[in-house]
Amino acid sequence: MTYHLAGDSTVAPMTAAEAPMAGWGECLDEFVSAPVLNHAFGGATTESFLASGTWGELLTGVADGDTVVIQFGHNDQKQPELLASRGGYTDRLRRMVADVRERGSRPVLCTSCERRWFDGERVTPTHGDYPNAVRDLAAEEGVDLIDLTAFTTWLYEDLGDEASARLLSHYAPGETVAWPEGLVDDTHFRVDGARRIARFVAKSLRAIERRDGDQPAKGSTFTA
């Protein structure tokens, strides 16, 4: 079994020159036992992923029993006329789901990782209706869902404004070769943040696959 990843820059592998910026997909193989093929690329929308031929390339490697993890939305929302949340965006996601199922494989939809935009102690939602559109599509099609919008919102709020910034690409002047003047980017992860997301995705995949349920329950000796 192989995990195939389709998505945008929050999933994609970065170049060595962009280190320590990282997409969660490039860290996933640290937490799963199966191979990971990451086809995600920066700036990708559902439309560009299909039109570029990248989706076709991904499908050529998909075998019976594989899993295809799909996360788009960051860039689709910038093209609302073509890729409306309840229009072109979900139409293309629905096509991807059907393509994967035709190959005897499991599609898994993800909502987008939230941007780290604090208002007091709370993170401001930035993806509009797009996460709900994915949740509704997953329910309609009976597709497994990993809700990264909810998870990353919780993660940032749980850590707080200052600590959560260390998961994202906040670089001081001179800290990195790629951004010698420094960078404040609340969308893209540094490696530590990418690993946190990847670990959650890996645990979610284990739950989807119903793994870890073959061991006997180890409840407390105290009765409830």
Mean pLDDT, residues 116-125: 96
Q: What is the mean pLDDT of residues 116-145?
A: 97
Give the number of residues written for the chain: 224
Distance between CA atoms of residues 6 and 78, nearest Å:
18
- Model confidence over 21-54: pLDDT tens digits? 999 999 999 999 999 999 999 999 999 999 999 9
Mean pLDDT of 115-134: 97
pLDDT at 223: 61
Query: Would you say residue 224 has pLDDT above 80?
Result: no
For residues 107 and 67, what is the distance between their CA atoms, to the nearest angstrom? 6
Query: Tell me: the pLDDT tens digits for 166-216?
Result: 999 999 999 999 999 999 999 999 999 999 999 999 999 999 999 988 888
Share of residues in the chain with pLDDT > 70 (%) = 98
Bridge partners, residue 70, by sequence: 6, 109
Instruction: Assess whether pLDDT exceeds 70 at residue 221.
Output: no
Distances (CA, A) of 141 to 46, 96, 107, 200: 18, 12, 10, 23
Distance between CA atoms of residues 201 and 11, nearest Å: 11
End-to-end CA distance of the chain: 40
CA distance 210 to 224: 26
Residue 218, pLDDT score = 82
Q: Are 47 and 79 in contact (CB under 8 A)?
A: yes
- The tokens for 167 are 């998961």
- Summarize the confidence of residues 2-30 as an average pLDDT: 95
pTM for the full predicted model:
0.95
**Contact between residue 71 and residue 110 where contact means Cβ atoms under 8 Å apart:** yes
Q: Report angle CA 25, 31, 34 to the nearest 5 degrees.
A: 85
Note the pLDDT of residue 17: 86
Predicted confidence (pLDDT) at residue 1 exceeds the cutoff of 80: yes
Mean pLDDT score across all residues of the chain:
96
